[in-house]
Amino acid sequence: MRSWQPKHSAPAWHAAVRGEPVDWDGLLSGCVAAVDWPACAFWRELSAENPDAVVVLSTRESAEAWWASMERTIVSTLSQPVPAEDTDWVARRSLTLEMMETRFTAGWQERDTAIAAYERHNEEVRAAVPPARLVDWRAADGWQPLCAALDLPVPAAPFPRTNTTADFRSEQGLEGKGS
């Protein structure tokens, strides 16, 4: 199993954003799952390419809770200046901004517009994915719904609690900046 390597796959993701054909099997070769960004922006394509795959719709307890996290993580990070010499970050930021604008909503930095896009996205996934393939999940649900959908035993280890807003802000050097 491997994780996404942006410098190797960014051209394919840019092509996907532009609506060009993508070799999804080649792009995700060696992966048994795709989670979060950028894959979640292409849930329709990936779901169609993998018609037997489980689709996990990860949500928050409310759209307002989602926005509070989004504002303090993604919006804050993408609003920071990027040193031109950090070419990897410049490329990732460019790709992320392009995806946010075209695959999420042009008003992704505005609370009401972003919340409406988040709610629309969740409803589109719920309407499009057959119930037998869909896991409508929140982190607080833990292992059980995921393991049930994948027909796997529930691990004895507690469900991990990582990538919190505080963790993300610290990793991005945002602690002490803004609220």
Q: Is residue 1 part of a domain?
A: no
CA distance 4 to 20: 20
Q: Is residue 120 part of a domain?
A: yes
CATH number of the domain that residue 21 is part of? 3.40.50.300
Q: Is residue 179 part of a domain?
A: no
Q: Is residue 178 part of a domain?
A: no
CA distance 151 to 86: 43
Q: Is residue 126 part of a domain?
A: yes
Note the pLDDT tens digit of each residue in 150-165. 999 999 999 987 766 6
- pLDDT < 70 positions in the chain: 1-8, 163-165, 167-169, 172-179
pTM of the model: 0.83
Number of domains, the chain: 1
> Which residue segment(s) compose the domain that 78 sits in?
6-171
